[in-house]
């Protein structure tokens, strides 16, 4: 099951740069094999969305994880104090893969 971690765990709005680590995502597989495509296996691609009160206030670039299902997004600065949610989403259909609550002071 995919997981998200934010360091520092309790960031300060407009001050702390949060490093977001994604772990245990699905591996890239051959389930959608098409010999006309290169690479032949479709790549699992994700993005991180940063939500305050259910409203998106930021989004990462689209990325794929390494062979261990991990990725680091090195710098997000929360613009306001409050209860934020970091959402990991599948870039192909915007479906939610994992979430992490973060309290910003």
Task: Among 14-23, 46-55, 64-73, 90-99, name the one with the lowest average pLDDT.
Answer: 64-73
Spatial contact of 49 and 55, defined as CB atoms under 8 Å apart: no
Say what the pTM is.
0.87
Q: Which CATH architecture has domain 3-27+39-104?
A: Sandwich (2.60)
User: Average model confidence (pLDDT) for the chain?
Assistant: 89
- In tens, the pLDDT along 65-92 reads 887 889 999 999 999 999 999 999 999 9
The domains of the chain are located at 3-27+39-104
**Does residue 37 have a pLDDT over 70?**
no
Higher pLDDT, 105 or 40: 105
pLDDT at 48 over 70: yes
């Amino acid at each position: 099951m995919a997981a998200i971690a934010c360091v520092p765990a309790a960031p300060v709005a407009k001050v702390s740069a949060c490093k977001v680590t994604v772990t245990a995502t699905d591996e890239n597989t051959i389930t959608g094999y098409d010999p006309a495509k290169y690479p032949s296996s479709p790549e699992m691609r994700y993005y991180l969305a940063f939500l305050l009160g259910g409203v998106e206030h930021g989004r990462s670039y689209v990325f794929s994880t390494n062979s261990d299902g991990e990725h680091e997004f090195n710098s997000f600065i929360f613009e306001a104090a409050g209860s934020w949610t970091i959402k990991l989403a599948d870039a192909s259909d915007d479906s939610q893969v994992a979430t992490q609550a973060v309290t910003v002071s």
